[in-house]
Amino acid sequence: MRKPEVAGFYDTRTGSIQYVVACPSTRKCAIIDPVLDFDEKSGSTATTNADRILDYVNSHDLTLEWILDTHPHADHFSAARYLKSRTGAPTAIGEHVTEVQKIWQQIYNWPDLACDGSQWDRLFCDGETFNIGELQARVMHSPGHTLASISYVIGDAAFIHDTLFMPDCGSARADFPGGSAASLWHSIQDILSLPDQTRLFTGHDYMPGGRQALWESSVADQKEKNPHVAGQSERDFIRLRETRDRTLPMPKLILHALQVNIRGGELPQAEENGRRYLKIPLDALPGSVWGS
């Protein structure tokens, strides 16, 4: 099994990990889940994270073939559109993003939003394969956190986004619109059916206990050490996950980020004064726990 080169880039503000996955022989690569910087207090945007990734690509003599998102993120803006403008590389996401678009079209009252996934260059279906140089990548539909979530299995590595975190962090929440703890359980079982030595790269890390940020584990590690799956039945997991989710406030950027991310990372069009504006619906997520 081919072993891709993997570099992770941790974003402290959001706890997100962005990846560059490279073919060792051809030096072709993909970027997975890039972050566009956003400060909700000032409304400022920046491309610090994305530019750091581009610097890495250039300094390692890599050729960018793909800009990949695993799902429409609720806690950061996607830098996919910005990176495409800089490189010309195609963007891609899972085909079920159209279902997420329809949910949020209603929440944002955007009747003119195209809900056909046309904001990306390619929509992947479950089981579809594509190449990064000489590496074959396979798409796994991994719903639960969102309807559209997919994992990328590339050689001996799998990029599993918001399904499992590091073993000491458990699993991802499943209470966003369209989310499902039962679906997440089955997605996790698909991931754990990969060979035990498969390297698993997660989408977030929250540094429990103040440890350093980590993002690589293995199937064997997760089976043995993650309390959300080790020795748990489907019923146990659903009860644990739903009980935990009922205590969690919504991510602070969910209403900011989804209107950008359901459009492939495209920011709102500038108005006649040259400024862009976000639209924040009030009382759109009834029953949500209030944050501190």
Mean of per-residue pLDDT scores for the chain: 97
- Does residue 16 surpass a pLDDT of 90? yes
Nearest in space to 238 (alpha carbons), one of 146, 175, 169: 175
Averaged over 38-58, what is the pLDDT?
97
The percent of residues above 90 in pLDDT, for the chain, comes to: 98
- In the prediction, which pLDDT does 234 show? 97
CA–CA distance, 141 with 150 (Å, rounded to integer): 4
Chain position carrying tokens 């739903």 = 242
Torsion sign across C-alpha atoms 236, 239, 244, 249: positive
Domains of the chain, CATH where assigned: 5-261 (3.60.15.10)
- In the prediction, which pLDDT does 235 show? 97
* Band (292; pLDDT cuts 50, 70, 90): confident
